[in-house]
Structure 1
Amino acid sequence: MNFKKDLDQNEVFAKVAKAANNLGLETYVVGGFVRDLILERPCKDLDFTCVGSGIALAEEVEKQYDYHVPLSVFKNFGTAMLKLEDAELEFVGARKESYRTESRKPIVEDGTLQEDMERRDFTINAMAISLNPNNYGDLLDPFDGMGDLNKKNIKTPLDPDVTFSDDPLRMLRAVRFASQLGFDIDADTFYAISKNAPRLQIISGERIITELNKIILSEKPSYGFKLLFASKLLHEFFPEMVELQGVDSVDDKSHKDNFYHTLQVLDNVAEVSDDLWLRWAAILHDIAKPATKRFNKKVGWTFHGHEDKGARMTPGIFKRLKLPMDDRMKFVQKLVRLHLRPIALVKDEVTDSALRRLLFDAGDAIDDLMKLCRADVTSKNNKKVKRYLENFDKVERKLQEVEEKDQVRNFQPPISGEEIMETFDLKPSKVVGEIKEEIKEAILEGKIQNNPEEARKLMAEIAREKGLVPQKNSEN
């Protein structure tokens, strides 16, 4: 099979081929680009392998451009990278690798193209296209990667037991590719993953979370999580999610399997949003159910307070999994805490006060919160699902009406602590916070409008009750 016509559509390959010919280096484009070219998927990162110095080849390619192209050289690894406007080109010499038991970092030596292909993780990534004059565009496929692409199969080029023991991160990559591409994992390969799952302990949290996030961003992320669970990989780094699995029964009363419910919610969110952190909120929304599970003879199984406990668990899970401890974590935490609130607002007699409080507490996350709540409706009873979703439509209309009228989303109290202190000659103290809180509560309860005039009038009333006297020089 020859891909010359495809290569000719991108000037990069002609420049690399010319540079390789100038240096007399046998050169190929390899890996993900070849796979994605065959699958007709976009690919911006191009990997080139030559039998010789990858750094020398990169430096020669740089000379082919009549404008500055940033070149990064990594001598310790024998690699180099050129950064174009719309692509990154990585160059490396063909090599063979050997591993030590306690580390995934290989001992690297110069090798042949065959040895370079053997060290790759999966057959679908172990293909190359020649950039050499005698067979330009020819596909080299020593492990039948094309066959596995056609069969939608993830398989290692060599013994999977050795492949995964050498570099355990490849086990997560197998699941990631299966999830992203909708492929199956070869039976022997999957057995080796299950056998070597404990080896994941030598992989850094940063590398694990990079692969996990790519699985979460798959079109149907539940598939990847089911593979992680079945292979026991998930048990190695995310025990809280594993604990969701299972159903307990007492007196013929059972609760749903919260692991598979969570995966359904995640898929539902994935259908309406590509936002990674909204997907993480779906993963964690019921994470505290095992810790809050109780059985009551009258009502059956309960999970009271799981939303609050789940919100308290979120920072610890983020920290351990090496996820960012910033506003993204706080966003997830907020949605976990609030995910039950909208369903309580479906009654016709719900007060504007309750709607204002939800808008205030959710802030800019209100739209994402409603997406999560809709995704959380996973009943097999279609009529029940339809009724719940119609109720959410009603809640959203009410929220919009209240927001347009009162503008409480992310509102800042119209009177600052500094103004309260200046008006009554106070230092920072508990009483200042109490006055601010009473004003905020009055606005949320609808007792006063959200404006400085009414807030200052109420401030004066609260101050009199507390025996505070405004300063004569105060404008208020």
Structure 2
Amino acid sequence: MDYKKALSQPIFKIIGQTADDLNLETYVIGGYVRDYLLKRGTPKDIDVVAVGSGIELATKLSSDLPGKPKVSIFKNFGTAMVKYGDIELEFVGARKESYHRDSRKPVVEDGTLEEDQKRRDFTINALAISLNQRNYGALLDPFKGLKDLENKLIRTPLDPNITYSDDPLRMMRAIRFATQLDFRIETESLKAITQNKDRIKIISKERIVEELHKIILSKVPSKGFSLLHKTGLLEIILPELTALQGIEEIEGQRHKDNFWHTLEVVDNIAEETDDLWLRWAALLHDIGKAPTKRFHKKIGWTFHGHEFVGSKMVYKLFKRLRMPLNDKMKLVQKLVMMSSRPIILAEEHVTDSAVRRLVFDAGDRVDDLMTLCEADITTKNPKKQRKYRNNFKLIREKIKEVEERDRIRNFQPPVSGEEIMETFNLKPSKEIGIIKDAIKEAILEGVIPNEYEAAKEYMIEKGKSMGLHLEN
């Protein structure tokens, strides 16, 4: 079949002409072809393979293109990159690879196109379309990748045990593609991932996290986490999550399976936001439940302080996975720490002071916190679900109303420490902090409005009650 339509962008004709000038057999391969055939839009990253030197092809192409764009050459990898407008072209020479057991860095030799296709991770990524004039637009598919696309199947070109053992990151990629594309992993391939799961330990944490991010950002993240769990990879990568699995029963009292509940919460939040860190907060919101689980005869199962314990665990987890220990991590910690606050409010009568405290503590992230808590509703009881949703709606309305009236978000005290010192002729001391806290509490409790005059009057009263004298 003719796949010239896939090559409608003018750049392909130019690459083909340059390749013919150099007498190089040349193909567009991999993700561009796969996504074109799946009608997933037009990717801006294009991989080009030449049977010969990819670097030579990139260098000549650069001189043939208008504006002569810069060529970035990576000699160690035998690749070159050319940025042309908003397109990123990566060139590589066809090669065959062999691996040592303790490394995913291959020994590379020049090879044929088929040898290059064999080294690809999956059949759907081994599809190639010719750019040479003699067979322009011809699809080369030696491993039936086209059929696998039709059958929505992730399969390796070679024995999956060899593919995954050679480069264990491919196990994560298989699960990531299955999640993103809503494909099934071939049975033998899934078995091979389970058998080779311990090989993931030779992969850098950064590369693993890159794949985890893509799974978390997919439409239905639970599909990927279920596969990670089923293959045993999740226990190696995120043992804090797998520790949540299981239902224990003592004296007829059971608790829910917090692992599967967590995956439901992640799917729920994925319907509401593409924010990666908010999705991470959903994934980790209950991790403190495994270490805090206790059974008490009178009250049954408890998870006291799991939010606090969970927020501490977030730091250790981020550090272990070499994730950023910056404001992103602090946001996840904050949301985990506060994850039960709106739920407790939703179970009780919602008071203005409780809402003010929620807004004060959550600051700019109060809307994110509400989104997380709404995603946390996984009860299958329609009456309970309706009750929670209505209560959360009421809390959101109260937040808006309190915020408009009291301006608590990112609260700054109406009276400064300097003014307290001047009023009572004080030097830096604990009394200043006591007065500032008293003013803050009075505003949060609704005793006084969040206004300067009211706060100043309250400051004077509080100071007098502490035995302080006004400066004349």
Output the TM-score relative to the length of structure 1. Answer: 0.95
1:111 paired residue number: 111
The answer as to 2:241 corresponding to 1:241 is yes
2:431 paired residue number: 431
Would the aligned equivalents of 2:179 and 2:220 in 1 still touch at CA under 8 Å? yes
Q: In the superposition, relative to structure 1, how do residues 469 and 105 fare at CA in structure 2: closer, same or farther (>3 Å)?
A: farther
2:66 paired residue number: 66
Q: Deviations over 1:276-312 (max 9, x none)?
A: 1111111111111111111122322111221121112
Q: Tell me which moved more, 80-89 or 139-148.
A: 80-89
2:411 paired residue number: 411
The answer as to 2:315 corresponding to 1:312 is no
Counterpart residue type for residue 404 of structure 1? E
Distance 1:404 1:191 in 2: 57
Secondary structure in structure 2 of the residue aligned to 1:63: helix
* Alignment map for 1:383-402 (pairs within 5 Å): 383-402=383-402
Q: Deviations over 1:411-433 (max 9, x none)?
A: 21223334444555655543333
Secondary structure in structure 1 of the residue aligned to 2:350: coil
How far the C-alpha of 1:144 sits from its partner, in A, is: 0.6
Counterpart residue type for residue 11 of structure 2? V
* Alignment map for 1:41-80 (pairs within 5 Å): 41-42=40-41, 43-80=43-80
Distance 2:349 2:235 in 1: 46
Counterpart residue type for residue 139 of structure 1? L
1:30 paired residue number: 29
Secondary structure in structure 1 of the residue aligned to 2:196: helix
Q: In the superposition, relative to structure 1, how do residues 161 and 436 fare at CA in structure 2: closer, same or farther (>3 Å)?
A: same
Q: Deviations over 1:392-441 (max 9, x none)?
A: 11121122211111111112122333444455565554333333222211
Q: Deviations over 1:54-86 (max 9, x none)?
A: 111111221232225243111221111112332
Distance 1:208 1:425 in 2: 59
Distance 2:59 2:422 in 1: 67
Counterpart residue type for residue 287 of structure 1? I
1:184 paired residue number: 184
Displacement over 6 Å in runs of 4+: none
Q: Deviations over 1:134-184 (max 9, x none)?
A: 110000001110111111111111011111111100000000000001111
Q: Tell me which moved more, 46-55 or 317-326.
A: 317-326
Secondary structure in structure 2 of the residue aligned to 1:391: helix
Counterpart residue type for residue 29 of structure 2? V
How far the C-alpha of 1:88 sits from its partner, in A, is: 1.0
Secondary structure in structure 1 of the residue aligned to 2:73: strand
Secondary structure in structure 1 of the residue aligned to 2:212: helix
Distance 1:118 1:460 in 2: 80
1:132 paired residue number: 132
Q: Deviations over 1:238-259 (max 9, x none)?
A: 1000101111011121111110
2:207 paired residue number: 207
| Percent identity over paired residues | 59
How far the C-alpha of 1:465 sits from its partner, in A, is: 4.0
Q: In the superposition, relative to structure 1, how do residues 28 and 434 fare at CA in structure 2: closer, same or farther (>3 Å)?
A: same
Secondary structure in structure 2 of the residue aligned to 1:330: helix
Counterpart residue type for residue 246 of structure 2? G
Distance 1:116 1:449 in 2: 71
1:354 paired residue number: 354
How far the C-alpha of 1:467 sits from its partner, in A, is: 4.7
Distance 1:113 1:471 in 2: 88
Q: Tell me which moved more, 419-428 or 402-411.
A: 419-428
Distance 1:59 1:470 in 2: 80
Counterpart residue type for residue 23 of structure 2? G
1:21 paired residue number: 20
Counterpart residue type for residue 196 of structure 1? N
Q: Deviations over 1:303-322 (max 9, x none)?
A: 12211211121111111122
Distance 1:109 1:428 in 2: 72
Secondary structure in structure 2 of the residue aligned to 1:272: coil
Counterpart residue type for residue 54 of structure 2? G
Which consecutive unaligned segments of at least 5 residues does structure 2 have?
Answer: none
Distance 2:412 2:348 in 1: 29
Secondary structure in structure 1 of the residue aligned to 2:47: strand
Q: In the superposition, relative to structure 1, how do residues 212 and 420 fare at CA in structure 2: closer, same or farther (>3 Å)?
A: same
Q: Tell me which moved more, 344-353 or 167-176.
A: 344-353
Counterpart residue type for residue 9 of structure 2? N
Counterpart residue type for residue 276 of structure 2? L
Distance 2:390 2:100 in 1: 59
Counterpart residue type for residue 6 of structure 1? A
1:153 paired residue number: 153
Counterpart residue type for residue 24 of structure 1? N
Q: Deviations over 1:10-34 (max 9, x none)?
A: 1111121121122111110001111
Q: Deviations over 1:362-404 (max 9, x none)?
A: 1121111111111111111122212211111112112221111
Output the TM-score relative to the length of structure 2. Answer: 0.96
Matched residue pairs, number? Answer: 471
Q: In the superposition, relative to structure 1, how do residues 469 and 107 fare at CA in structure 2: closer, same or farther (>3 Å)?
A: farther
Distance 1:30 1:425 in 2: 77
Distance 1:197 1:71 in 2: 38
Secondary structure in structure 2 of the residue aligned to 1:371: helix
Secondary structure in structure 1 of the residue aligned to 2:90: strand
Q: What RMSD, in angstroms, separates the aligned Cα atoms of the two structures?
A: 1.7
Q: In the superposition, relative to structure 1, how do residues 37 and 301 fare at CA in structure 2: closer, same or farther (>3 Å)?
A: same
How far the C-alpha of 1:230 sits from its partner, in A, is: 0.4
* Alignment map for 1:222-261 (pairs within 5 Å): 222-261=222-261
Distance 1:468 1:319 in 2: 48
Would the aligned equivalents of 2:127 and 2:141 in 1 still touch at CA under 8 Å? yes
